[in-house]
Amino acid sequence: MSMDMSQFTEAFLEESFEGLEHMETELLALNAGDEETLHTIFRAAHSIKGGAGTFGFSAISEFTHGMETLLDRMRNGQQETTPEIVNLLLRAVDVLRGQLQAARDGGEADPAEAAEVRALIEATLGDAAPDATPDALAPTVGGNVDGSGPENGPGDSDGTPRGWRIHFRPHADLLRTGNDPLRMFEVLEELGELTVHCDAEGLPATLEGYDPEASYLAWTLELRGDADRADIEEVFEWVEDECDLTIEPLETAGDSTGAHPPADPAPDGSGPESTPPGGEDSAAGAPARAASKPTESSSMRVNAAKIDALIDMVGELVITQSMLTDISEQMEEDPSRVEQQIERLRSGLAELERNTRELQESVMGIRMVPIAQVFNRFPRLVHDLSGQLGKQIDLQMEGELTEIDKTVLEHLGDPLVHLVRNAIDHGIEMPDERSAAGKDPTGRVTLEAYHRGGNVVIEIRDDGRGMNSDRILEKARAAGLLRPDQNPEPHEILQYIFEPGLSTADQVSDLSGRGVGMDVVKKNIRGLGGNIELHSEPGRGSRVTIRLPLTLSIMDGQLLKIHDETFVIPLIAIVESLQTEPENVKQAFGKLPLYRLRDEYIPVVDLAALFGQAEPSPMPDRALLVVAEADNQRVALRVDDLLGQQQVVIKTLETNFRRVPGTAGATILGDGQVALILDVAGIARMTSGRDTRAA
């Protein structure tokens, strides 16, 4: 029988990544002498080792072996649990993660780091108990991975005896382990011609004291054929300590074997596939490379309840569909009663709409995964960083079970790492500095996620030194982002930290060094359709708020009419819609008109002109404006009409056309019309002349 193992490889990898995450979490929480935690960590390593061997990843299996031995010592109290050992094991977790990633993506793990960590583990093992590096692994991996197992060639040419005589006397308890002499004889029968003589002398003479569950019989068996001794030994492998067993050749075909029965199958069965030590690498390495290479998002675990809900909904959909079919049949049969059927048709369609919406929500729900999958990496990060920097940090995580689209989640890791790292690196002060400022010497970093509206909000807070807005203003001016006469509000000043010109400028520490790469963070978040904001109070700490859409592919939109074309604007971007009052319009020559909304002047964008549908036209006395906000900038969009609101499926333009400035893609409306989706932030940039890409 041959079986494609790759179908289980993916499951194995996924489970191993989970196991590693678990190991990491437990290692970070490990206290000396915490036996239960050690058991858990040990089991995780053990499972990875076993699975890796079975699914053909011998390097992973070998690497894990040392970890496992070390963990075994620790849980048995033979090895002390020290911070150094924990850090070594954490490094080993990283190596293993790299190896698993390489196995999944087909890349290559860093062999030098693996070798170094392995050597360190072995050195530790050597220190603790020089006698006991187990040798169990080598024969295990080598012997079985290549699939040759015990079925080495029988070496029929040179002197295998024509048969064997087997004396088999089970001990009384043999049956109690589920072993059955009869089944064993049946296996022997497959190896050749078998004759069985039963010796019943051991049976008690009377029934008194007779134990029906004990074994009293003995057998002498003769097996004719060219079976190997090893084949026979394998049949009795499990009972060798529960019986008296002798295996002797019946008669031999040549003198040499008579003196030396082939107890070891290797010398004469040495085909190319049966040399364990050498075959190990090549044979086990090949399936590792040949295994399927799922991409990061190709498989995911789904809660069974979600699937059940889907099935329910499909059931309802089927019912609705048959109801609609029935209506159409009735209409055909009796056209005179169409009037009555219309009402039924309407309610059927309403039902269909409800089903579709629910189904859509459920299908979206399948892609939703708890944000804990990203949050989980932070205890380790904080542990490492606080060790490196000599800072004391208490990491709080809230709302880990908040669900978010899997794709969004996958792209969220790096920006969050960056933000948390910055908070620790530059936000949190050294313990003595904190004490001097009257603060708790232990700094606090909080990660929180929650749902608000159609969004997932993630906050990264620290109670560190906060940011100096004067310095940022100075930097922003120096970078030419602001004219000397511009005096933004303190809150607006902080947002300049996300500007590329500022962030890469320099990394002076009195600017909290936070500029480094913040523009990249913002770009990533914007790429996910989200936005990012910063609040900070000197001496009290900072708060970064990230708002992300629940999903990337569907959004709530407001349909707009602009010069006979329909556009969609994300509902989340709209601040308000209004009819202009003539006295609030300020029109300056050569500049965008401004509209005064309460005490704020907002630039008005002539969308028809912007998209080249019409010549720029002066603003009429009464116009319809949609005030929208993105990136802390507001723009008022002049539109001809507000149509309905609906959910739209976002299709990218870039795939088939190219990026169009001011748009975030397109969608297909119910009537088949294509509508462009407005990118409010892009429009704001285009109109303020800061977007070079728009040119």
Partner 1 sequence: MAKVLVVDDSSSMRQMVSFALKQAGHDVTEGRDGNDGLSKAQGLKADLVITDVNMPGKDGLELTRELRKLPDYKFTPILVLTTEAGPEKKQEGKAAGATGWLVKPFDPEKLMSTVNKVLR
CB of 97 to partner 1, least distance (A): 17
**63 closest CA partner among 29, 107, 34, 97:** 97
AA identity, residue 139? P
Does residue number 252 form part of the binding site for partner 1 (CB under 8 A)? no
Whole-angstrom distance, CA of residue 110 vs CA of residue 116 = 10
Whole-angstrom distance, CA of residue 434 vs CA of residue 436 = 5
Q: Which of residues 397-436 bind partner 1 (CB under 8 A)?
A: none
Please pick, from the candidates 87, 140, 252, 275, the single residue that binds partner 1 as defined by CB under 8 A. Answer: 140
CB of 533 to partner 1, least distance (A): 42
CB of 603 to partner 1, least distance (A): 58
Does residue number 8 form part of the binding site for partner 1 (CB under 8 A)? yes
Whole-angstrom distance, CA of residue 438 vs CA of residue 657 = 59
Choose between 147 and 672: whose C-beta lies nearer to partner 1.
147
Task: Name the 3-class secondary structure at 232.
Answer: helix
Please pick, from the candidates 40, 504, 507, 584, the single residue that binds partner 1 as defined by CB under 8 A. Answer: 40
Choose between 51 and 348: whose C-beta lies nearer to partner 1.
51
Does residue number 213 form part of the binding site for partner 1 (CB under 8 A)? yes
Does residue number 136 form part of the binding site for partner 1 (CB under 8 A)? yes
Choose between 235 and 562: whose C-beta lies nearer to partner 1.
235
DSSP code per residue over 349-383: HHHHHHHHHHHHHHHHHHTEEETHHHHTTHHHHHH
Does residue number 144 form part of the binding site for partner 1 (CB under 8 A)? yes
CB of 49 to partner 1, least distance (A): 6
AA identity, residue 15? E
Whole-angstrom distance, CA of residue 298 vs CA of residue 321 = 32
Does residue number 186 form part of the binding site for partner 1 (CB under 8 A)? yes
Does residue number 235 form part of the binding site for partner 1 (CB under 8 A)? yes
Per-residue buried b or exposed e for 354-386, using 16+ beta carbons within 10 Å of the residue's own CB: ebeebbeebeebebbbbbbbbbbbbbbebbebb
Whole-angstrom distance, CA of residue 496 vs CA of residue 475 = 9
Please pick, from the candidates 145, 502, 573, 619, the single residue that binds partner 1 as defined by CB under 8 A. Answer: 145
Under rule CB under 8 A, how many of the chain's residues touch partner 1? 50
CB of 99 to partner 1, least distance (A): 16
Beta-bridge mates of residue 452: 455
Please pick, from the candidates 15, 113, 281, 533, the single residue that binds partner 1 as defined by CB under 8 A. Answer: 15
464: Cα separation from own chain's centroid: 31
**276 closest CA partner among 150, 155, 138:** 138
Choose between 290 and 508: whose C-beta lies nearer to partner 1.
290
DSSP code per residue over 638-657: EESEEEEEEEEE-B-STTTS
| Residues counted in the chain | 695
Please pick, from the candidates 21, 26, 55, 409, the single residue that binds partner 1 as defined by CB under 8 A. Answer: 55
CB of 495 to partner 1, least distance (A): 47
Site string for partner 1, 61-80 (x = CB under 8 A): x-------------------
- Among the listed ranges 7-15, 269-277, 462-470, 682-690, the one in contact with partner 1 (CB under 8 A) is 7-15
- Among the listed ranges 191-199, 238-246, 272-280, 456-464, the one in contact with partner 1 (CB under 8 A) is 238-246
118 burial type by CB count under 10 A (0-12 exposed, 13-18 middle, 19+ buried): middle
Please pick, from the candidates 31, 127, 131, 178, the single residue that binds partner 1 as defined by CB under 8 A. Answer: 178
Please pick, from the candidates 35, 108, 156, 180, the single residue that binds partner 1 as defined by CB under 8 A. Answer: 180
Per-residue buried b or exposed e for 58-94, using 16+ beta carbons within 10 Å of the residue's own CB: bbbbbbbbbbbbbbbbbbeeebebeeebbebbbebbb
Whole-angstrom distance, CA of residue 48 vs CA of residue 51 = 5
Choose between 50 and 431: whose C-beta lies nearer to partner 1.
50
Task: For residue 688, give the DSSP letter.
Answer: T
Choose between 30 and 676: whose C-beta lies nearer to partner 1.
30
CB of 238 to partner 1, least distance (A): 4
Does residue number 175 form part of the binding site for partner 1 (CB under 8 A)? yes
Footprint of partner 1 (CB under 8 A): 1-3, 5, 7-9, 11-12, 14-15, 40, 42-43, 46-47, 49-55, 61, 134, 136, 139-141, 144-145, 147, 149, 175-180, 182-184, 186-187, 213, 235, 237-238, 241-242
